[in-house]
Amino acid sequence: MPEAAQERARPGAWVRDSPWLLAAVLLVAFAILNAAIQANFFTPFSLALNVTTVLPLMLIAVGQTYVVLGGSIDLSLGAIVSLVNVVAVEIITALGTGPGAIGAGLVAGLATGLACGMLNGLIVSLFRLPPIVTTFATGVIFGGLALIVLPQAGGSLPPAYYLVYAQGFLGLTLPIWLVVLLIGGVWLVGGTRFNRHLLAVGSNRQAAFQTGLPVRRIVFASHAAAGLLAAMAALCILGVAGAGDPLMGQAFTLGSVSAVVLGGTALAGGWGGPAGSILGACILVLINNIIFFANIDFVYQSVVQSAIILAALAAGVFASRRRR
């Protein structure tokens, strides 16, 4: 794409080339608004709490971004979170409460998430079924499995699990370290050939195929990565909840899609990136905060929240279209 290269060389072109820019502006605006109505917003305690709240959505949104960039979508991520959540709890409970049990639970959880993502990737890439309906159907299956593993919310984790999660090390909580790791990971992936191939597949599948890119393998890998990230999110949720819940993940599927779109990534694929989705996840959590601290009557909370999200989405889409 010589044209794009020329544009990038022109001064100021980076503004047009940064899908996450509007999300950053929105994030700053919402953070100021939040600080205005919540006096202790900028205290370390409150910030650490917000990081803990946003981390699971952030992880899932980053996974969703890779899937969307490759031209697919995954509506089963919420169900994967639920399944991993109950699998990890059941295994840790079954093996006792020692560090070995916790380790086994973490590994089993990650393996479960990866397997679910790989199944999605296999069906979508190998058989080329429409991803919206396929991942909805696999989501129904994963949700059913979660209900079989643990029919009702319950089970309990050894305190070591959530104490370590909350305490962390070097004075920072574990969620803060994980956010740093996630950002580092996203930055590293951004420079790889995989990332460039993913964008190529998402923007023009036919052309990517004709250039000799392993289209199926790339789409498969993006789904597998999303499954793994959803599993990490589920394990983080356990660090706060301390117990299993087979319906835990439901809200995350659509939340992750909203975060991706807020972050400036095109749902059609091929344009955008996980940095924007990380900001998008933060925006969604800040909107929740603002609604909570603004003392809005409970009855009006959901309509106000949805209207703000819809307006933010509209603004994001509108701006990214003008820049493109």
Partner 1 sequence: MRVGAVLRDPAAATLIGCVLLLGVGEALAPGFAGFGQVVGQFGVAAILAIVAAGQGIVILAGREGIDLSVGSTMSLAALVAGNIMGGENAGLLPALVAALVVGGAVGLFNGLGATVLRIPPLVMTLGTAGVVTGLLVVLTQGRPSGAAAPALGAFVSRPMLLGLPGVLIAWALLAMLVETGLRRTRFGLNLYAVGSNDHAARLAGVRVATTRVLAYAACGALAGLAGFFLLGYTGAVFVGAGEQYILPSVIAVVLGGTSLAGGRGSYLGSAAGAVFLTILTAFLTTLSIAPAERQIIFGAILIGFMLVYSRE
**DSSP SS3 for 212:** coil
Residue from 33, 24, 82, 50 nearest 278 by CA: 24
One of 24, 25, 317, 319 touching partner 1 (CB under 8 A)? 317
Stretch touching partner 1 by CB under 8 A, among 181-189, 192-200, 218-226, 261-269: 261-269
Residue holding tokens 């199926």? 216
Residue from 30, 29, 49 nearest 40 by CA: 49
**DSSP SS3 for 196:** helix
Stretch touching partner 1 by CB under 8 A, among 88-96, 106-114, 194-202, 301-309: 301-309
Smallest gap, in angstroms, from Cβ of residue 175 to partner 1?
A: 27
Q: CB count, 10 Å around CB of 235?
A: 21
Both tokens assigned to 19: 């899908």
268 touching partner 1, by CB under 8 A: yes
Contact 22, 272 (CB under 8 A): no
One of 49, 111, 141, 247 touching partner 1 (CB under 8 A)? 141
One of 40, 43, 210, 306 touching partner 1 (CB under 8 A)? 306
How far apart CA 225 and CA 231 sit, in angstroms, is 10
Question: How many Cα atoms occupy the beta-carbon half-sphere of 44 within 13 Å?
Answer: 4
One of 29, 36, 47, 132 touching partner 1 (CB under 8 A)? 132
Alpha-helical runs (H) found in 168-214: 174-190, 193-203, 205-210
304 touching partner 1, by CB under 8 A: yes
Binding flags for partner 1, 45-74, as an x/- string (CB under 8 A): ----------------------------x-
251 touching partner 1, by CB under 8 A: no
Residues in contact with partner 1, total (CB under 8 A)? 44
Total count of residues recorded for the chain? 324
One of 50, 82, 258, 277 touching partner 1 (CB under 8 A)? 258
Residues found near partner 1 in the complex (CB under 8 A)? 73, 123, 127-130, 132-134, 136-141, 143-145, 147-148, 151, 254, 257-258, 261, 266-268, 299-307, 309-310, 313-314, 317-318, 321
